[in-house]
């Protein structure tokens, strides 16, 4: 049963990925779809940042909002961006800040 | 699509992709350890990273199994979370411009990170480089580290000790930054982050990001109404 679940999940997840990649181009040229394509990455990236930085688990292992060194890392990355640092520096500053805070 | 990519720019996109791959790939260790810790064997755990290859769905399936849930319910929650990859594909397909077998192969690499590292690029060529570097990089490292995690458990230590969890958030912020160039874009980003944050305590991993896509959808629909005469 576990194998069945693994393989069903694999097949389904692949088909979901392929479905998005296979939408015909004339659909993508419609104005609504084009506006959506412009806004979707912004919404997804913003949400991914929030989830990535603020999600932890409570005592029962359920997802919960958590404030920890990651938020400080994000703050440091923001400062680096305001100082026009290149991408890798931004990422490194974020990681280093979090790692040092956890050492402290 | 024919414009050549400046070699310096290409190197930059490749190194950005590798940086994200290393930070993300390291999390495969925790998936490997969690998979084996939740009653899967090493083969099943590794098969998931190879074949499902989308983190949130993998953690969801393993989480349901570990909590004693029905395997098919676990597969269903994995699928629900995989829906956001369909949305990613919508944006990626015209940008990458691949067809046939190449598109079918690329589809397997459509995940949060490969999308994030390509949708913001200035040209089709730059998007392809970002997508392939990150997609292949995460795939290789995610699978290697899953195997390591499944075999070694958590004796290797926590990727959080190296700040790798914060690195991923910082990378996404750096990618979002140049796109916050208008009031609408900034508002969409703020609303999406707020919606996702608000849903974190009440939903399974992956759902908050999916819900944030609704913010983009609603804004796109409302803007049409405003533009109409």
Whether pLDDT at B224 is above 80: no
Question: Residue B29: CB partners within 8 Å, gap ≥ 6?
Answer: B145, B146, B148, B149, B152, B154, B156, B159
Alpha carbon distance B54, B51 (integer Å):
9
Q: CB distance from B164 to chain A under 8 Å?
A: yes
Express each pLDDT in B122-166 by its tens digit. Answer: 899 999 999 999 999 999 999 999 999 899 865 666 667 777 778
Q: Give the gyration radius of chain B's Cα atoms.
A: 18
Closest partner residue to B110 among A7, A17, A90, by Cβ? A17
Q: What's CA B159's distance to the chain center, in Å?
A: 18
Q: Which has more confidence, B122 or B204?
A: B122
Residue B228 confidence (pLDDT)? 43
Alpha carbon distance B75, A91 (integer Å):
34
The mean per-residue pLDDT over the stretch B204-226 comes to 81
Residue B115 confidence (pLDDT)? 93
Closest CA to B146 of B16, B51, B13, B11: B51
Alpha carbon distance B229, A5 (integer Å):
51
Residue of chain A whose Cα is closest to the Cα of B160: A99
Alpha carbon distance A48, A42 (integer Å):
10
Residue B154 confidence (pLDDT)? 55
* Range with the poorest average pLDDT among A11-15, A62-66, B192-196: A62-66
Q: CB distance from B18 to chain A under 8 Å?
A: no
Q: CB distance from B155 to chain A under 8 Å?
A: no
In chain B, domain spans: 7-179, 181-229
Residue of chain B whose Cα is closest to the Cα of A36: B220
B60 close to B83: Cβ distance less than 8 angstroms: no
8-state DSSP, B4: P
At A31, list the tokens. 């104005």
Q: CB distance from B42 to chain A under 8 Å?
A: no
Alpha carbon distance A97, B82 (integer Å):
32
Residue A36 confidence (pLDDT)? 82
CA distance B46 to chain A (A): 10
Residue B226 confidence (pLDDT)? 55
Mean per-residue pLDDT of chain B: 86
Express each pLDDT in B52-108 by its tens digit. Answer: 999 878 887 887 787 777 888 788 878 877 888 988 898 899 899 999 999 999 999
Burial of A48 (0-12, 13-18, 19+ CB in 10 A): buried
The phi and psi torsions of B63 (rounded to 5 degrees) equal -60, -45
Q: In A, which residues are within 8 Å of B63 by CB distance?
A: 61
């Amino acid at each position: 049963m576990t194998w069945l679940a693994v393989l069903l999940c694999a097949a389904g997840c692949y088909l979901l990925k392929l479905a998005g990649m296979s939408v015909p181009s004339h659909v993508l040229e419609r104005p609504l779809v084009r506006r959506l394509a412009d806004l979707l990455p912004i919404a997804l990236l913003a949400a991914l940042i929030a989830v990535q930085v603020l999600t932890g688990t409570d005592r029962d292992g359920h997802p919960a909002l958590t404030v920890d060194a990651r938020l400080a890392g994000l703050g440091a990355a923001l400062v680096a961006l305001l100082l026009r640092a290149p991408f890798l520096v931004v990422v490194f500053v974020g990681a280093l800040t979090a790692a040092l805070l956890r050492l402290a | 699509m024919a414009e050549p990519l400046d070699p310096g720019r290409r190197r930059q996109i490749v190194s950005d992709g590798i940086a994200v791959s290393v930070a993300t790939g390291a999390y495969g260790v925790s998936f490997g350890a969690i998979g084996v810790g939740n009653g899967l064997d090493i083969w099943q755990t590794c098969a998931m990273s190879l074949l499902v290859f989308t983190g949130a769905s993998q953690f969801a399936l393993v989480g349901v199994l570990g909590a004693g849930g029905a395997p098919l319910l676990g597969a269903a929650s994995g699928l629900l979370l995989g829906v956001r990859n369909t949305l990613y594909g919508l944006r990626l397909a015209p940008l990458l411009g691949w067809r046939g077998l190449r598109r079918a192969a690329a589809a397997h690499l459509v995940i949060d990170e490969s999308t994030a590292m390509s949708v913001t690029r200035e040209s089709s060529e730059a998007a392809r480089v970002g997508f392939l570097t990150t997609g292949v990089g995460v795939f290789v490292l995610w699978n290697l580290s899953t195997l390591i995690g499944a075999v070694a458990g958590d004796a290797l230590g926590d990727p959080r000790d190296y700040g790798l969890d914060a690195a991923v958030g910082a990378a996404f912020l750096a990618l979002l930054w140049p796109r916050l160039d208008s009031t609408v874009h900034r508002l969409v980003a703020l609303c999406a982050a707020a919606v996702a944050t608000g849903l974190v305590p009440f939903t399974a991993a992956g759902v908050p990001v999916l819900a944030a896509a609704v913010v983009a959808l609603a804004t796109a629909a409302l803007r049409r109404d405003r533009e109409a005469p």
